[in-house]
Structure 1
Amino acid sequence: MQQISVGIIGYGYWGPNFVRNFSEIDNVDLKYICDLNPANLERHRSRYKSVNFITDYTLMLEDKDLNAIVIATPVDSHYELAKQALKAGKHVLLSKPMCRSSAQCEDLIAIAEEKGLVLMVDHTFVYHGPVRLIKQLIDDGELGTLLYLSSTRINLGLFQNDVNVIWDLGAHDFSLLDHLIGRAPRSIQAIGKSHTETRIEDVAFMTMEFEDDFIAHFHVSWLSPVKIREMLIGGTRKMLAFDDHRPIEKVRIYDKGIELLSKPPETETARYKALVQYRHGEMKAPVYDMTEALKYETLHFVDCIVNKKVPLTDGHSGLRVVRLLELAEESIKRPSLANVKMEK
């Protein structure tokens, strides 16, 4: 089995999760952990004795034997770090969101494709067992024609000082929309407000319209007294509820819905009563893979490098999510626009 050497930049909030998962992969040599704060490194030096703890990431770029670099830093640093890593011939895994602008994403994609390198984005929830099950159900037609998607991702904090709640929490939901639905909306309408002196939006609501009758709605917040991670997907055959905060039965499929009469009754009274028929069937809670999402993702990254595969959440996936984030932010900043439309 081909050995892959990996270095990780950023050892603050999310970096330790990358370190833990890559250190457990048999054909991975975790060679570097880099962070600007020496105190972050010292706390874990004894746990990973074979790893080089450094504060200068350029040492990774100069190491010709290093295959890949994982970047778990604030989004404003993603572009420059990833660009340097790709130009140095390293495969790259970027934490979400991919970059601060779609133009930056496009540049990284071009460099990676020119050099034949793997460029992957850490859209963790795409690799989550329940989400992989939902994707399979949709692709198999279990829900029928999709009618709507409604998502709530709210909690108290963590307030960020570099991005608003849409770029922080909404990035997760937009990556799920992109993965599950597989097509771009026609327009986005968003409203968001800041309730602190930072003027960074901490609560936001977003609605997306598509070319057909499908509609998607998202509520994200750092200002909720309770933590909620719920998604509802309605289809013509069945409906689905995904509650990621539940310890078990995170995915529930309901044989519920409505049926419209193809030929309404002639009298007005009968038409009112019979035009819509309600269906109340059983609920099922199917089994899904319990593997940690980030473990599945890191294994996928290594597999893409070894076997020259295209990642499920590649640079193009990251670009599509960033475009949605930009449009949602534009809608908030320019409320005079009823809807911000996607460019063809």
Structure 2
Amino acid sequence: MAKVKYGLIGFGGIAENRVAKEGYACDKNRFAPLQFAELVAATDINQARKEAAEALGLKWFASADEMLADPEIQAVYIATNNTTHVPLAMKALNAGKHVISEKPMATNSADAKALVALAKEKGLSLGVDHMMVYNAWNVKAESMIKAGELGNVNDSCFHMEFAYGYDPAEAATWRCSKIEEMGGPIGDVASHCFYLSEYILGKKITKLAAVYLPKIMNIVAEDGAYIKFFFEDGMQSSAKVAFSELRGGLGGTLSNLGYEIYGDKAALRGYGTMFQLSGHADEPVKVRLELDKFDGKAESVAPCEIKNMYQCLIENHAQSVLNGTPLTAEDALHNIQLCEAAHESAQNGGKVIEIN
């Protein structure tokens, strides 16, 4: 069966471990080969990364331009810093390559619109790493709600609160110091809350209101935010995001990354469902989903099959290439607009902002 041949642009630690070893199954001790995609090459501005890439059997290119000039490469996965996503993606699309970009695909909605338009013009598939929709527990949650197991759902809360930025080295990173690069809890993690809530609940967010948390950290970005958002049918939800919350330690931090969804028959609670965890046995905490029917007996809910969410993301993109049904990334554009609206609202006293 034909496979799409990918090159990886950016080969830092996350790209090596999450994207290459997991996503493209380069860790052959843990994963079987993908069905529709194959990673064949890598590049990074840090040439010292060449050895690590070649250890995985990848061809090394000295630059992204060299990679894009190679006719063997059909698609690229962009895993560089946020400000380079757009120029690299545009270069790739203009070179006739399909693209997966790390989120955010752009640092503002104007650039995101231009990228979406270029992909459409070229007839190429443009995907963005909104990987949490492929987490098996989130897929299960979506199916349970659709099947009516919670009854009438009228509220939910998605939260990603942890400690990041108290250390001076962390405070100096883009996540804490560069809002213009989609840093801060809103750009970095509220974005996950937005797209995952839309997926699980099957609705599109049309307006929101936000306030920043009290400023106690010595970082340039906001410490956190409380965001109320509303779907097209009027249903409300919320997101709580922060870099200021200690949460005990690693276990408490990771298990706290999740959600509560409230229906009139039951509530559904996810633990560790909003992180880089797919549910493999060797991960630091156990992902879990609990159904509360208000009888004092919370029921553990397990998915039928655990799949690596990065692999699902990549396979979905590869299939869109092979089937001639390119992804549009319009959902990622919408996501960036939501992040911009959250900042606009918080800077204007929590004003409700409509999303066009």
For 1:53 and 1:195, locate their aligned partners in 2 and report how far apart those are by CA, in whole Å.
Answer: 45
Q: Give the aligned partner of residue 36 of structure 1.
A: 45
- Contact conserved, 2:198 with 2:205, CA < 8 A, in 1? yes
Report the identity percentage. 23
Q: Give the aligned partner of residue 188 of structure 1.
A: 209
Q: In the TM superposition, what is the alpha-carbon distance from 1:212 to its structure 2 partner?
A: 5.3
Q: Give the aligned partner of residue 276 of structure 1.
A: none
Paired residues in the alignment total 315
- TM-score, L = length of structure 2: 0.81
Q: Give the aligned partner of residue 104 of structure 2.
A: 97
Residue 304 in 1 paired to residue 320 in 2?
yes
Aligned residue runs from structure 1 range 52-91, under 5 A: 52-91=59-98
Residue 244 of structure 1: which of 257, 260, 272 is its match? 272
Residue 285 in 1 paired to residue 272 in 2?
no
- Contact conserved, 1:70 with 1:93, CA < 8 A, in 2? yes
- Write out per-residue CA displacement over residues 159-201 of structure 1, whole angstroms, 9 at most, x where no aligned residue: 4243111111111111102212321233322324554554212
Q: In the TM superposition, what is the alpha-carbon distance from 1:144 to its structure 2 partner?
A: 2.5
Relative distance call for 1:200 and 1:4 in structure 2 (3 A) is same
Q: Give the aligned partner of residue 273 of structure 1.
A: none
For 2:214 and 2:10, locate their aligned partners in 1 and report how far apart those are by CA, in whole Å.
Answer: 30
Q: Give the aligned partner of residue 347 of structure 2.
A: 333
Relative distance call for 1:195 and 1:74 in structure 2 (3 A) is farther
- Write out per-residue CA displacement over residues 246-291 of structure 1, whole angstroms, 9 at most, x where no aligned residue: 95571111223xxxxxxxxxxxxxxxxxxxxxxx375332221322
- Contact conserved, 2:37 with 2:314, CA < 8 A, in 1? no
The DSSP-based 3-state class of the residue aligned with 1:223 is coil
Residue 119 in 1 paired to residue 126 in 2?
yes
Relative distance call for 1:239 and 1:32 in structure 2 (3 A) is same
- Contact conserved, 2:204 with 2:232, CA < 8 A, in 1? no
Residue 223 of structure 2: which of 188, 202, 206 is its match? 202
Relative distance call for 1:12 and 1:248 in structure 2 (3 A) is closer
Residue 195 of structure 2: which of 164, 175, 178 is its match? 175
Q: Give the aligned partner of residue 6 of structure 2.
A: 6
Relative distance call for 1:213 and 1:255 in structure 2 (3 A) is farther
- Bigger mean CA offset, 12-21 vs 65-74: 12-21
- Contact conserved, 2:209 with 2:346, CA < 8 A, in 1? no
Q: In the TM superposition, what is the alpha-carbon distance from 1:31 to its structure 2 partner?
A: 2.6
- Bigger mean CA offset, 22-31 vs 181-190: 22-31
- Contact conserved, 2:155 with 2:263, CA < 8 A, in 1? yes
Unaligned runs of 5+ in 1: 257-279
For 1:87 and 1:202, locate their aligned partners in 2 and report how far apart those are by CA, in whole Å.
Answer: 39
For 1:121 and 1:211, locate their aligned partners in 2 and report how far apart those are by CA, in whole Å.
Answer: 23
- Contact conserved, 1:178 with 1:321, CA < 8 A, in 2? no
- Contact conserved, 1:37 with 1:55, CA < 8 A, in 2? no
Equivalent position amino acid for 2:329 in 1? G
For 2:216 and 2:41, locate their aligned partners in 1 and report how far apart those are by CA, in whole Å.
Answer: 40
- TM-score, L = length of structure 1: 0.84
The DSSP-based 3-state class of the residue aligned with 1:185 is strand
- Contact conserved, 1:4 with 1:67, CA < 8 A, in 2? yes
Unaligned runs of 5+ in 2: 27-32, 248-252, 274-283
Q: Give the aligned partner of residue 292 of structure 2.
A: 254
Q: In the TM superposition, what is the alpha-carbon distance from 1:118 to its structure 2 partner?
A: 0.9
For 1:56 and 1:183, locate their aligned partners in 2 and report how far apart those are by CA, in whole Å.
Answer: 39
For 1:210 and 1:52, locate their aligned partners in 2 and report how far apart those are by CA, in whole Å.
Answer: 46
Task: State the Cα RMSD in Å.
Answer: 2.3
The DSSP-based 3-state class of the residue aligned with 2:205 is coil
Q: Give the aligned partner of residue 224 of structure 1.
A: 245
- Write out per-residue CA displacement over residues 18-66 of structure 1, whole angstroms, 9 at most, x where no aligned residue: 1122234255442321111122333x145223x2223410112212231
Q: Give the aligned partner of residue 160 of structure 2.
A: 153
Equivalent position amino acid for 1:339 in 2? K
Task: Judging by fraction of residues, say which structure has more strand.
Answer: 1
